A = this chain, B = another copy of it.
Amino acid sequence: MQLETTTIKTIAETTGLSLTTVSRVLNGVAKKYRISTATEAKVLEETRRLGYIPNQAARNLRLKKSFAIGLVIPNLANPFFANIVSIINQVLHERGYSVILTDCNEDEKLEVEAVNALSARNMDGMIVIPSGKKKNHLELLRQKGIPVVFIDRYFDDVAIPYVATNHYDGALKITEYLMANGHEKIACLQGSNHVMPNVKRVQGYVDAMKKHEKEPFYIGGNSFTFESGYLETKLLMQKYDKPTAILALSDTILLGSLKALAEDGYRVPEDISIATFDNSVYLDFLACPVTSVSQPVTDIATIAIKLLLDKIEKTSGNVVEQEKILISPSIIHRSSILNR
């Protein structure tokens, strides 16, 4: 029933060669050891004939290298993260690495567990988007000598490189754009207020307002969810002093907000202008296509991988590199902002 697994030994036996020789051929260092082409051909032939597949666990154990990168992310159901993971996965596979994924469901405890599990599996490196505020488990990795890089979310006070969107800049720009269109009563609907992207975005919003000598009009909400956007907007629109524009700090928040607006009979953009972050594909197809800050996802992914693999594969030399990278986002203009 179960086929006898072919190992390097099987090949050595059927070809009448030694393990070493077979191993060398298989590792492509045949010429380096001046193995005869005949021998090499014989090995290759057998390998194919027997459908030999090298045992990674053994290599891993021997080489102390797993050719695997751990990916720790908050929640795949969020299209923004899914997108990043998709890109990372493909690039990494091209480079010969496998990807071990963990979806932490935005839960710190799961994240700690996940990081330990990955550590046990001898990851060559890890890319993480932190779910919470904890960071000890991540610093431990560094001490253990496992390269880590943060993407999207990060901690400024930890010696771990990151590459992320310049959230501050994005929020600043879009808020100023709203103001340039005559809006002063701009409400900001935020996400989880403990994560860096949110903090920076709110900061950008506040600074833009102040720059033009306005006080921040309104900041509300507490999670990057649909529900939060919905509730906050309901609340917001019952105030005496209503906003003329809403800045949603994520597309999920936006959707909730739009639903609330529609329910209460407000038209976008005639009654109220709106802008958002993330630039999901579907923004084009909403009742009113929504102007959005677009995060440079592909750039973030590729740069992060470059950073990580450099660390992993660096044979020597300690080139001091830029390791805290923020990429400025662009604004995709659609029709949800009206000049007043």
Contacts of A121 in B (CB 8 A): 56-57, 98
Contact present for B76 and A2 (CB under 8 Å): no
Closest CB in chain B relative to A222 CB, distance in Å: 20
Contact present for A122 and B285 (CB under 8 Å): no
Residue of B with least CB distance to A71: B101
Q: Which listed residue, B86, B102, B282, touches A76 by the CB 8 Å rule?
A: B86
Closest CB in chain B relative to A160 CB, distance in Å: 16
Q: Which listed residue, B79, B89, B226, touches A103 by the CB 8 Å rule?
A: B89
Closest CB in chain B relative to A53 CB, distance in Å: 5
Contact present for B282 and A120 (CB under 8 Å): no
Contacts of A76 in B (CB 8 A): 76, 82-83, 85-86, 89
As for how many copies of this chain the complex holds, the number is 2
CA distance A226 to B75 in the complex (A): 24
Identify the stretch in A41-49, A110-118, A177-185, A308-316 within 8 Å (CB) of chain B at 4 or more residues: A110-118
Task: Give the interface SS of chain A, mostly helix, strand, loop or mixed.
Answer: helix
Contacts of A286 in B (CB 8 A): 285-287
Question: Which residues, 87 to 117 on A, are CB-close (under 8 Å) to B?
Answer: 89-90, 93, 98-103, 105, 110, 113-114, 116-117
Contact present for A89 and B77 (CB under 8 Å): no
> Does A58 have its Cβ within 8 Å of any Cβ on chain B?
yes
Contacts of A77 in B (CB 8 A): 79, 82-83, 86
Closest CB in chain B relative to A334 CB, distance in Å: 13
Contact present for B55 and A58 (CB under 8 Å): no
Q: Could you give, for residues 56-90 of chain A, a 1 whenever the CB lies within 8 Å of some chain B CB and a 0 otherwise?
A: 11101100001010010001110100110110011
Contacts of A110 in B (CB 8 A): 93
Binding site for B on A (CB under 8 A): 1-3, 5, 51, 53-58, 60-61, 66, 68, 71, 75-77, 79, 82-83, 85-86, 89-90, 93, 98-103, 105, 110, 113-114, 116-122, 140, 143-145, 226, 255, 258-259, 280-282, 284-287
A-B contacts, 15 listed (Cβ < 8 Å): A57-B57, A57-B60, A57-B66, A75-B86, A76-B82, A77-B82, A79-B79, A79-B82, A82-B82, A86-B103, A89-B102, A93-B102, A99-B101, A259-B285, A282-B282
Additional A-B contact list (5), CB under 8 Å, known A57-B122, A93-B110, A98-B100: A57-B61, A89-B101, A98-B121, A255-B284, A258-B285
The 4 closest A-B pairs by CB, nearest first: A82-B82, A76-B86, A287-B287, A57-B60
